Amino acid sequence: MNRIVVATSNPGKVREIEEALAPLGWRCQGLEGVPLPEETGTTYEENAALKACAAAMATGLPALADDSGIEVLALGGQPGVYSARFGNLGNDRERNLHLLEKMRHQTDRRAKFVSVVVLAYPDGKLEEYRGEVEGQLLEGPRGDNGFGYDPLFLPVGSDLTMAEMSLEQKRAVSHRGRALAKLLAAHTSY
């Protein structure tokens, strides 16, 4: 396999996926106009498969999609699979402020990120990899790298938020880095 479609319109995810998969030497192409389906699933697995299958069918190439989210213990696991739509707000900064507001006065700040990566083939075959990272939410943002809730999230054992890390540092600890490491291991042993 030498060419895959990266089925996401999130530039932050594209950067992380391309960096993590570089050792495989695959050529990663973007969606190039292929529309992604609505995320109608209720699990990361369903939504990742929906996106990857749609892109594989439309292009005739293997397609990789990530579905991910942040689960906050004190909020009963919210926003989880709905993280991109949290509060029906327009951008990451507004969603971060909304989360901080919901967590005001909350002393239990434990949270985890989850990523499910699906590689779908045009013949319908699917591979699925899951990664998680536990940590806690800060009371204000720190750092300019990454995307989404990264500035608020301090992984267990780290002094840096995920927005203070380089791509390489984030890959080593993050949910997506862990899911992609499993994909890498599976394809390196072929």
* Contacts with ligand IMP, residue ranges (CB under 6 A): 10, 39, 67-70, 83-84, 113, 146-150, 162, 174, 176
- Tokens read off for 76: 């009963």
Rounded least distance, CB 57 to ligand IMP, Å: 19
Annotated binding site for Mg(2+): 38, 67
Side-by-side strand order, sheet with 153-155 = 27-29, 3-6, 63-72, 110-120, 126-137, 153-155
Listed in sequence order, the residues at least 6 apart from 169 whose beta carbon sits closer than 8 Å to its beta carbon are 160
Annotated binding site for substrate: 8-13, 68, 147-150, 170, 175-176
Q: Residues annotated as binding site?
A: 8-13, 38, 67-68, 147-150, 170, 175-176
Residue 67 appears among annotated catalytic residues:
yes
SS3 of 44, please?
A: helix
Looking at the Cβ atoms of 49 and 162, the one nearer to ligand IMP is: 162
Q: What is the dihedral of CA 115, 48, 87, 147, to 10 degrees?
A: 50
Question: Of 1 and 168, which CB lies nearer to ligand IMP in the complex structure?
Answer: 168
Of all residues in the shown chain, the one whose CB is closest to ligand IMP is: 148
Q: In degrees, to the nearest 5, what angle opens at C-alpha 135 toward C-alphas 176 and 127? A: 25
Choice among 67, 108, 123, 144 that is catalytic: 67
End-to-end CA distance of the chain, in Å?
A: 11
From the CB of 176, what's the least distance to ligand IMP, in Å?
6
Q: Whose Cβ is closer to ligand IMP: residue 127's or residue 132's?
A: 132
Q: How far is the CB of 2 from ligand IMP (least distance, A)?
A: 26
Active site residues: 67
